[in-house]
Amino acid sequence: MDEKKKNNGNGSKQAVEWFRLITPVLVTISIFFLSGLSFQLHRIDNKLFTHLTNDEIHVPRGQVVTQAEFDLHCKFAKENKEDFLRALGEFKQDMRAVLAQK
């Protein structure tokens, strides 16, 4: 059987030969691509670390509020908002009563 002839049942054999040729090229390209990506991620990580540790921009960790303090602040802010909305509702009722008298 002649392997060079077309349509003699050796199509899968030819495909395997092509993959033997193409696979090293694709692996080499992938390695270069991934190494470049890894280098860029490392560079971004260094920039991010420098940015986050810059005391001129960010508050030092010791001055950050705790979760309990933040929750307490949120509770008081919510109560303050509810008081304001209640006062606004009373004001609307008073204004309607004043306008109804005229």
**Separation CA 77–CA 95 (nearest Å):** 27
pLDDT tens-digit map of 59-98: 666 677 778 888 899 999 999 999 999 999 999 999 999 9
Of the CA atoms within 13 Å of residue 77, those in its CB half-sphere come to: 6
Domain ranges of the chain: 7-60, 65-102
pLDDT tens-digit map of 3-16: 566 666 556 677 77
Q: Is 61 exposed, middle or buried (0-12, 13-18, 19+ CB in 10 A)?
A: exposed
**Separation CA 92–CA 98 (nearest Å):** 10
Model-level pTM greater than 0.95? no
pLDDT of residue 87: 96
**Separation CA 49–CA 72 (nearest Å):** 31
Is the pLDDT score of 1 beyond 60? Answer: no
Is the pLDDT score of 2 beyond 60? Answer: no
Q: 26-55: string of b/e by CB count within 10 Å (b at 16+)? A: eeeeeeeeeeeeeeeeeeeeeeeeeeeeee
